Amino acid sequence: MRHARRNLQRIARLAAVGGLVCGSLMVSDAMAGETPAPPPGAGATTRAGDATASLVERLGSARTAGNWTGADGRPVVAVTDTEAAAEVRRAGADAKVVRHSMDRLRSATETLREAPRVSGTAWSMDYASNEVVVHADTTVSAADWTRLSSVAEGIGGFVRMERTEGAFTTRLNGAAPLFGGNSRCSAGFNVTDGRGSFILTAGHCGGVGTTWFEDRGRDTTVGTTVAASFPGDDFSLVKYADGRAPEPAGDAGIVAIGDGRGVRITGAADPDVGQQVFRSGSTTGLRTGRVTALNATVNYPEGTVTGLIETTVCAEPGDSGGPLFAQGLALGVTSGGNGDCTTGGITYFQPVTSAMSALGVSLAGQAAAGGDADGAGPEPGGPSAPAAQAPPPGAETGTGAGAGGTPGGAALPGGAGGPGIVTELAEGLGPLGAVAPGLAVIGTSLVLLLISRWIQSAQGRRNYREFYSQTWA
């Protein structure tokens, strides 16, 4: 019997020590791997470079010329004088003294916008080189190139003209995941007005009244476009058909990225120049690249679109409307570009922050932008229509919209399936959810140590009584 107690005590001690070690590792891994989520609701719209952006705003557009993320990951701010450079360095960022201010760069883009429109051209501000770069694709004639070059020369030497391969087109074609009319597009993000469910996608995919189907044969209806803006902007809102909203509700924030994996979107943001980003589309799947410019202008054959995100991410016809994301944050929906995913090219995206603000919606699971306290928002169908997006048709095969998963957020094995019971319990604990399992193991181990100590103490008292009982006898 005594040997059995000793064995039980040893087992309890070993289990307790092992549990403490495992629990500590679980907590450390959870804290190291946790991606901070932005606050819910409208406040969930965040910016990766908030501190840098505040510094740039304080210095003013006459003394700065943009900011970006350097190759080493550090923020860089372009400034026009040494005093501003010193202030930037004191704030912990790198400074680059340049000749032309943001005011001059913006003035150059306005002059280009006022010139006669030339289809097949695009321009944006290159902060690192302190220039405005004008791209002209292969459809631009020699006469138009000469005329645009003359406008650039009149502005000054900081406007750089570049010829590009291919043609700037919207990225849609006539074949699969969202089918409507003669077009195929990709679903972007699930959004909501607090009452209904919608898909946020590209505006050039189809105007108001366009009916979208899940399959090429147009047998299964996904929904109907109730609001759209193109050209000028490039976003639209597709209202889910009855019974087509994502179920369970937790799936609305998950998008597929292929190979049975999904990514959970936790908020929306505006990207930084130089930031690595990811795009998912129904034609080319998951692709990555970097942001090269913000507030870009593109002259598509259908019209001019402004305020776009310029990237090195490739895209092809059918990828239009698909999501751009990073670190679990929604950034944009695919608009258009040139090239393909074999030769590369430039791709432009409509920012989701401005699109959701104009439509009066928010990402599914968050408070609607512009809505009242009880979640009510504007009626669907107008310029401020609400929205909500579900994983696009085909999400189970990995061809749907994306959010920031393995590449940019939390990957969910099994695609866009809902979370398991352990995940749900952990999420219910809020900020402690990620470390809860490790803390539970540590707590159980401490209890085992107490039990081991109690067994040892009880054994000691028993031995004491047996010894003295023999002496008294």
CA distance 409 to 431: 17
C-alpha count within 13 angstroms, C-beta hemisphere, residue 1: 2
> Which residue is catalytic, options 204, 251, 280, 452?
204
Query: Which DSSP helix (H) or strand (E) runs through 236?
Result: strand 235-240
DSSP type of residue 36 = P
> What six digits make up the tokens of 44?
């969930």
User: In sequence order, what are the residues at sequence separation of 6 or more whose Cβ sits closer than 8 angstroms to the Cβ of residue 142?
Assistant: none
Q: Are 352 and 189 in contact (CB under 8 A)?
A: yes
> Which residue is catalytic, options 101, 124, 280, 320?
320
C-alpha count within 13 angstroms, C-beta hemisphere, residue 155: 28
Q: Are 334 and 281 in contact (CB under 8 A)?
A: yes
**To which residue do tokens 């590449």 refer?**
407
- 3-state DSSP call for residue 33? helix
> Which residue is catalytic, options 137, 234, 270, 272?
234
DSSP type of residue 273 = B
Q: Are 192 and 386 in contact (CB under 8 A)?
A: yes
> What six digits make up the tokens of 155?
């502005």
**77 in the Ramachandran plot: left (φ > 0), alpha (ψ -120 to 50) or beta?**
beta
Beta pairing partners, 95: 77
Q: Look up 129 and say whether it is catalytic.
A: no
Q: Are 248 and 418 in contact (CB under 8 A)?
A: yes
Q: Look up 135 and say whether it is catalytic.
A: no
Cβ–Cβ contacts within 10 Å for residue 170, how many? 27
CA distance 50 to 46: 8
Q: Look up 319 and say whether it is catalytic.
A: no
* Inter-residue long-range contacts of 120-123, CB under 8 Å, 24+ positions, other chains counted: 120/167, 120/168, 120/299, 120/301, 121/148, 121/168, 121/298, 121/299, 122/168, 122/296, 122/297, 122/298, 122/299, 122/310, 122/346, 122/348, 123/296, 123/297
> What are the catalytic residues?
204, 234, 320
